[in-house]
Every structure is written in C-alpha cells, then in structure tokens.
Structure 1
Amino acid sequence: MTELRQKMIREMDLKNLSPHTQRSYLAAVTGLSRHYQLPPDTITSEMIEDYLLYLKNDKDLAPSSCCSTLNGLRFFYSHILDQQLSVGFSLTKKPRKLPTVLSKGQVWKIISSPSNIKHRLILMTTYAAGLRAGEVRRLKPEDIDSKRMLIKVVDGKGHKDRYTMLSKMLLNELRHYYKACRPQTYLFPSTYKKHKGKPLSYETVRSIYEKARKQAGVKNGQGLHTLRHCFATHLLEAGYDIRKIQVLMGHSRLSTTIIYLHVSRETLSKVPSPLDLIETGKDSADGSDHTS
C-alpha cells in the first residue's frame, strides 16, 4: 500500500465516508493511475479530462459512473494533494426511470427459494420492513422490538435512525432463526473466520438475492433494492397513507416517495378515465353553446 493510498484511506475514515463510497473513490484514483501508468500526483488536469472522455466515449460508461469517478478524483486532489481540480467536464443528468416492482406472488417465490434459513430471513426482513441493503446487513438482535412490533434502523441513509414495522410472520420466523443460529453482535453475521463478528458484506447479500431470484424463475427485478420498492408499492396499493410510507422508508422528502404512485398499477387502475365519467344521452348545460 502506497503512502498516498494510506493517507487517502485515513482521510476518508476521518470524513466518515461509507465503505461503498471509499471503495468507489479508491477505484477512481487507481483507474486513473493505471490508465497512464503514472503516480496520481504527477497527472495533470488536462490528462484527467482526457481520461474522463475516454471513459465516456470509448468505455461507454453511464453518466452516473463518470460522475462517481470525478467525485473520487476531486476528493483525492482536494484532501490529499491540497489542489483544486479544475476540470471542465459536465454531464447531463441521467433520466430518472421508474423502479421495477414485482407482484406479491413473485416476491414470495423469491423469499421462499433459499434453503438456508439465514438467507431466507435476510430476504424476508428486507421486504417486510422496506430496508436498504446496508440497513438489513447491520441489524442487531436488540433492534427487534417485539413488544411494540417495531424494528429500529440505526444509522440509516444520511446517518439517521428510524423505526419501521415488524411483521408478525417475520417475528415468528426470526424466533425460529434465533433459536437455531444464536446470532450475537449482528442478526445476520458473516460466517467467514476472518470476518467473525462482522456483518455480511454487500456483495454477499446481493448474491443471495440474485441467486434466489433466478431459482424462483423471476426474470425482472434485478438488485436487492427491488424488495424495498415492492414494500412501498404494495403498501400503497393496500390503501396506506403515502406520508406514513415516507416515514417507514426513511425518505427526507415526500417527492421521493411519490414516485411509487407512478408504479402502483392497482392504484392507477382505480382512477376512471374522464371519458367514463360523461353521462351519455344527457345534455350538458354548463359551458355549452345553444343556438336557436
């Protein structure tokens, strides 16, 4: 490990950046250095611009990936080399796509697919409580409040704590799981010896979901985050208030939760077309012209 890399890791830890962000920023600097076969502190701003154009045009990376690389490089040059990176490079904002939502039957097939009880409970908990991957990974036994039927999410997105619902079915399954596995520090700990006492990695959780999805024969809905999308949409279709769903999801803005109105097919199907509201065979007195 080079001195610059050690210094960057230390600085990111001091800034309390998430492990995912740290990996992304390190990969950005490593990729730049490997591309030119030069130490990153010898690479000029113009060379960085050329590298970003190479990623965009030759590697055909998505705009979000190019922005992530640029953010990592800016952090390195600003906090490690104490240089302001003046790179004239901007990207158009990526169009926002509607999230993929599976049917309740498809979700149940995915949850039921794993034979491993821990894997099955990870998927069930993610869907039942609407959790993010990082949130389900870091759950601890004491976060399950069976008296109030709540799950405490500690240090969620934006470093905020919140409560979400605890399903009765999930509670029963968790009790069986706890008796069988006796988890200590984390509810779903890693089984590797070198990671003993630590939560499962994001890659492991993602792999558990993808394997279960393929076993269930569900072709769409890639990514564990799909279960979180399903949680919100299925609650909305069941008639629950969108502001309550916002709190359960941990969204700081209602506009983030409102997107599920656009993907709720059941909610949309209940809205009648204005054509069907017209009472045919009757004259409309309001706003009509009558000639004699």
Structure 2
Amino acid sequence: MQPIIYEPFKEARRIKIFVPYELESIRNNVKKMNGSFWHPHQKLWSVINTSQNFESLKKMCEGNYKIEKDIRFTPIPSVALNQNAIEAMFELEKALVLKQYSSSSIQVYKKMFSVFLAKFMQRNLKEVSKEDIEGFVYELIKKNKISESYQNQLINAIKAYYEHALKMPREYYAIQRPKKTVNIPNVLSKKEVYNIIQSPQNIKHKAILSTIYGSGLRISELLNLRIADVHSADGYLFIKDSKGKKDRKTILSEQLVVLLRAYYKVYKPSYWLFEGQSGEKYSTTSVRSIFRKAVKDTNSNPWATVHTLRHSFATHCIENNISMRHLQNMLGHSSPKTTEIYTKTIEINNKTITSPLDSLLKNITLQL
C-alpha cells in the first residue's frame, strides 16, 4: 500500500494526502505537522499548502508514494453572444425583474444562461428540445466535471427562460436533475468559536464575527443590518429582506448588546450597523478576510467559512435545547426539514450520550 499525495493547484490552501490504515508511522508524522487536519468524509489528511510541506510529505514516505493531480472543474470558455442571444438574455432579465428577483440572483441566472446560449444561440431557441438540453448538460458533466450545484443552477436558468420569459409549460422542460445529496454542514466546536470571535484585537472585527455567530446570520444579512434593526430593549435583531425576500426576527445576545454599544462609541456608524470608511456598507471581502485571519491565528478548522458560524449557531442552539420551531424562525427557513439537518451535526461522544453498553455493564468489571 502506498500513500497518495495530491498535487495541489497553485491557489489551493491545503495539500491532501491519503495514508493507508496500515502505515501508522507515516500517519503519526502527518498528525504532528503544523496545521494538519483529518477529513473524515474524504478519508484524507491535509496540511497547509507550502513547498516545504510538500517536500516534507514526500520525505516522510521515504520514496514509497504516489502523486496524483486533484480533479477539479474545467472552466467553460466564455463566448461573445450574437444578437439572437442578446435578445434572449434581455427577455430572461426582464422576466426575473418583473418577478422581483434580487439583483444578485439575476446576475447568477444571467451568468448560467450565457453558458446555455453559447451552445444554442445559432438555433431557434423555441425549437430546442428537452433532449437537446439534457444532452448538453450530460456533456458538461463528462467533459467539464461540473458540480451538482452548478448543474442545478444551470437548469434553473434554462427553465426560467422557457417558463417565465417564453411562457412554456413547466412539464415540457422537466429536465433531469442530479440526485440530491444530503451533506452534513461543517460545524465548529464551542471552543473554536470562542477562540475565533475573541481573536481580533479590533473591536469592529470582533463585533462582526460575534454578531454573525450570536444571531445566526448569513453574511449578506450582517451587511444589510441598519442601526435601527438592533432592538436591544426587546432582545432581538430585525432582519429585513433576507433570502427569499422574507423579514424575520432573531435573537440578540445580552453579551452582544454590550459589545455593540462599545463598538458604536468608537466607530459611531450613521446608518448601516457596520460601515466602510466612506459610510457605505461593509464589504463581503472584508468580512471574509477578518474570519480567515481569525481561523489562521487560532489554528481552528481550516475548512471553515464565515457561513460555518451560522451552522455552528444552529447546532449549538439544538445542544442548548432550543425548540426547532424557534430555531427555524431565527434562521429564516421556510421548511422545518431545512432546519432538521442540524440535528445531524450535534456533538456525539461518550460525554454527551450514554451508550447502552455502559448502562448494561454499570458497576460490573469486564472479564478480559
């Protein structure tokens, strides 16, 4: 059995390595490397992507290893659209605007629809069949290795054009979708969250991370918070026009109120709760940069994202026995089934649950 070292792409943050179970000494050496992390679903270890770490991994394997390239999505080249395609794009945009889709959603639909148009713009789009579209999607899966998410977004854009812009019957374009996978969200431990939100020295950065976790917010919801949305006397944040154009209320921590008041005295925002230097909304890029630095400085889960704080909020609420109905409302989920996924992320070990074997053998000495 050989370890497999996956050659990372230039911009990749991690180097992945598969270590067969029998090679315990190599596995122990990988564990000792700074920033090493075990990925249970992929059955792989990873370390920080540096040339020094790549050479160290090869040295640990003492010449008995295999190097493979990571498999990734092959970019689909953009093509200049002809007049027929430009008109179709305008019809799609008009239909989505009339349906009051958000500007960010419209941009995603247009981007995905341009991929479809690049293939079919020389044809009469009204004559493109369901079979033609499924053949096109199949080709992208095989040649470009598009993800399930990309496939779904592409189908959504195509169906939006035919059903909303051309008013075609929904059944006519019932395009085959990928089998839905049920992924368990990535979650940070309470200790990791504490370390991350305490890491920034800047009080504004600390307030941003604490607000996302303390109220279970999406990054866009944080950026859209106004000063008027903080209802400290009643203990809630008002979230306006969140995903699905829904308003909602979510919990406002007493500790967060103290932190926000201290932050306000220093920065004195005028309209948005978190403003940039010129008084505009704080940027998504800046929030992500704050989070990435905090993760790195605390040596926390390197695969965590800002959204992981929201997942962690939901999981920790369940562990604190918050009702699913309250949690659903705080997260802004339309369906309780969406919220129930967090029942799979709660911490399971012999400190939180008693095994029936322990109950069975309580006060009994095992005979070995």
Instruction: Flag whether TM exceeds 0.5 (same fold).
Output: yes
Instruction: Please give the per-residue CA displacement for 1:208-236, whole angstroms capped at 9, x wherever unaligned.
Output: 43343234322344322211111122223
From 240, 249, 254, the equivalent of 1:154 is 240
1:128 aligns with 2:210: no
Q: 1:210 to 1:55 in 2, by over 3 A?
A: farther
Query: Quick one: structure 1 residues 44 and 250, their matched pair in 2 at CA, closer, same or farther if it must change by over 3 Å?
Result: closer
Q: Helix, strand or coil for the counterpart of 2:250?
A: strand
Q: 1:12 aligns with which of 60, 74, 96?
A: 96
Q: Residues 78 and 152 from structure 1, CA distance in 2 versus in 1: closer, same or farther, beyond 3 angstroms?
A: same
Q: Deviations over 1:222-275 (max 9, x none)?
A: 322211111122223234344433333233443333332322115874332223
Q: Which residue in 2 is equivalent to 1:181?
A: 267
Equivalent residues in 2 for 1:119-268 (5 A)?
Answer: 119-191=205-277, 197=280, 199-265=281-347
Contact 1:130–1:228 (8 Å) recurs in 2: yes
Partners of 2:124 and 2:107 in 1: CA distance? 17
* Counterpart AA for 2:152: C
Corresponding position of 2:147:
62
Are the equivalent residues in 1 in contact too, given 2:217–2:331 (CA < 8 A)? yes
Residue deviations 1:37-57 (CA, integer Å, cap 9, x gap)? 758958834553333122211
Q: What SS does the aligned partner of 1:265 have?
A: coil
Name 1:28's counterpart in structure 2: 112
Decide whether aligned partners of structure 1 residues 276 and 40 sit closer, same or farther in structure 2, where only a CA change above 3 A counts. farther
1:172-216: CA deviations, max 9, x gaps?
22122222222233212344x6xx64x345455444433432343
Alpha-carbon contact 2:188-2:301 (below 8 Å) kept? no
Rounded Cα–Cα distance in structure 1 between residues aligned with 2:95 and 2:350: 48
* Whole-angstrom distance in 2 between the partners of 1:37 and 1:113: 52
Q: Distance in 2 between matches of 1:48 and 1:40?
A: 13
| Cα shift at 1:125 | 0.3
Q: In 1, are the aligned partners of 2:223 and 2:283 still within 8 Å (CA)?
A: yes
Residues 1:73 and 2:151 are matched in the alignment: no
Distance 2:285 2:89 in 1: 23
The structure with more helix, counted as a fraction of residues: 1
* Contact 2:207/2:259, CA 8 A, preserved across alignment: yes
Give the unaligned 5+ runs of structure 2: 1-80
CA–CA separation in structure 2 for the residues paired with 1:36 and 1:207? 40
Q: CA deviation at 1:136?
A: 1.3
Instruction: Determine which structure has greater relative contact order: mean sequence separation of CA pairs < 8 Å that are 6+ residues apart, divided by chain length.
Output: 1
- Secondary structure at the counterpart of residue 255 of structure 2: helix
Shift in CA distance, 47/254, structure 1 to aligned 2, threshold 3 Å: closer
The one-character-per-residue Cα deviations of 1:141-197 (angstroms, maximum 9, x if unpaired) are: 011111112211222333332222212221122122222222233212344x6xx64
Specify which of 108, 113, 129 is matched with residue 194 of structure 2. 108
Q: Specify whether residues 92 and 77 from structure 1 end up closer, same or farther in structure 2 by C-alpha distance, changes over 3 A only.
A: closer
Q: Distance in 2 between matches of 1:43 and 1:204?
A: 46
Match of 2:30 in 1: none
Is the 2:159–2:173 Cα contact (8 Å) retained in structure 1? Answer: no
Q: TM-score, normalised by structure 2?
A: 0.65
Unaligned runs of 5+ in 1: 283-292
Structure with the higher fraction of residues in strand conformation: 2
Sort the Cα spacing of 1:274 and 1:5 in 2 relative to 1 into closer, same or farther, 3 A: same
Does structure 2 retain, via aligned residues, the 8 Å contact 1:261–1:267?
A: no
Between the aligned partners of 1:43 and 1:33, the Cα distance in structure 2 is: 13
Number of matched residues? 278
SS of match in other structure, 1:213? helix
Q: Name the CA shift for 1:207/1:40 in 2 (closer, same or farther; >3 Å).
A: farther
Deviations 1:2-23 (A, max 9, x none): 5544443333222111333212
TM-score, with length taken from structure 1:
0.79
Distance 1:118 1:6 in 2: 41
**Are 2:269 and 2:275, in contact at CA under 8 Å, matched by a contact in 1?**
yes
SS in structure 2 of the partner of residue 155 of structure 1:
strand
CA distance 1:165–1:82, shift in 2 (3 Å): closer
